[in-house]
Homo-oligomer: A and B are copies of this chain.
Amino acid sequence: MSGVDAVGRAGGDTVAGALSEVRVVAFGGLPEIAPGDDLVVAIGDALVGAGLAPLEGDVLVVTSKIISKAEGRIVAATDREDAITAETVRVVASRVHPGGVTRIVENRQGIVQAAAGVDASNTPDGTVLLLPEDPDASARALAAGLRARFGVRLGVIVSDTLGRAWREGQIDQAIGAAGVLVLDDLRGSRDSFGHELVVTQAAVGDELASAGDLVKGKASGMPVALVRGFGHAVVESLETPARALSRTGPTDMFRLGTDEALAQGHGAGYAEGFEAGYAAGLAAARAEAGGTE
C-alpha cells in the first residue's frame, strides 16, 4: 500500500506486471454416465487422457447431472410435474404461463430453484433426473477419491443451473462442495482507505461454478471443468458444504413470491377486517336503534 497522497488518492497502486491468474479448462473423454458408474475413475481417466493430471490446489467443477446419473437418480416420470411435487419441501412462488406452470420451490436439498432441480433434458424419453440426494456428500466422496488417486489436495464443486430473482437467464452455482471454501469472508478486513469491510462475503463457490460453466457449456459433452490457480481456497478438510450458500428461514426476505404474499396477507386482513367491521356494524345499528327509541 502506498498510503494517502496530497490529493487524497490512496492505496491501490500495484506493481506493473503483477498478475493473478486462473485457468478454467473443460475436457472431453468422459463416457456417457450410467447408474453405478465410478466417477472417480471416469473423471480421473479423462483428466489423465486430456493431459490434465490435477495439481495441488486445483478445483474440479462437476455438473450435478453426471453425479445424479452415477447415483441412479434417474426416475421414470410420465409427468415431470409429479416429480417436481415429490422433490418440493415448500412452494415459494408459482406462475401459470402459456407453456405450463413455473414453480419456484425450496427442494429437499435446501435450495430455492425452479422446478426443484428436476431435469428432463439430456435424459431418455419418459425419464427425469433428480438432483443428487446430498450434493455435499457427493462432492466429498469425489474429492476424497480423486485426492487418493492423484495424491494432491484438490477441491470439488458440484454445480447446477439456477435462475435468479431480478435477473434474466440462468447461471451455474454451487450446490455441493468439498475441500474448497465456498464463502470468502472479508468482513473485518480493511479497504485501501482503512475502512472496515463490514458486509462483504464473496460467494466464491458460486463464482467458481459460474466460471466452470463458461467452458463446459450446456450440451457440449464436457460436464467437468478444472480450475487451476485458486488454491488459496482449497483446504485439507472436506467439510466445506455448499449448503452454507443457501439462505432460507428468518433471514430470507423473499421466502414467498409477491403475488402469493399479497394474497396471503389479503386473506388474513380480510378475515380480521370483516370481524372488526361486523362488530362495528352491529354496534352502529344498535346505537342507531337506541337513539331512535
Contacts and interface: CB of A to CB of B under 8 A. Distances in A.
A271 B219 CA distance: 53
Interface string A1-41: 00010011111111111111111111111111010000000
Nearest to A247: B168
A122 B221 contact: no
A225 to B, nearest CB: 8
Given A165-B254, A261-B262, 15 more contacts: A4-B124, A13-B30, A13-B221, A14-B222, A18-B50, A20-B27, A121-B200, A123-B193, A165-B166, A166-B252, A253-B259, A256-B262, A265-B267, A266-B266, A269-B270
Interface string A229-259: 1100000000000001111100011111111
Contacts of A244: 168
A248 B202 contact: no
Interface residues of A, number: 132
Given A124-B8, A254-B257, A261-B265, A206 B169 contact: yes
Given A166-B247, A254-B258, A14 B269 contact: no
Please state the number of chain copies in the assembly.
2
Interface string A195-213: 1011111111011101101
Contact of A50 (B19, B25, B122): B19
Contacts of A271: 269, 273
A151 interface: no
A26 B31 contact: no
Interface string A258-293: 111111111111111111111111111110010000
26 contacts: A7-B34, A12-B32, A14-B221, A16-B29, A22-B24, A24-B24, A111-B166, A114-B199, A123-B193, A165-B166, A166-B252, A167-B246, A168-B183, A168-B245, A191-B219, A197-B218, A207-B211, A253-B258, A255-B258, A266-B266, A270-B273, A273-B274, A274-B276, A277-B278, A281-B284, A282-B285
- For the residues of A in contact with B, the DSSP-based class is mixed
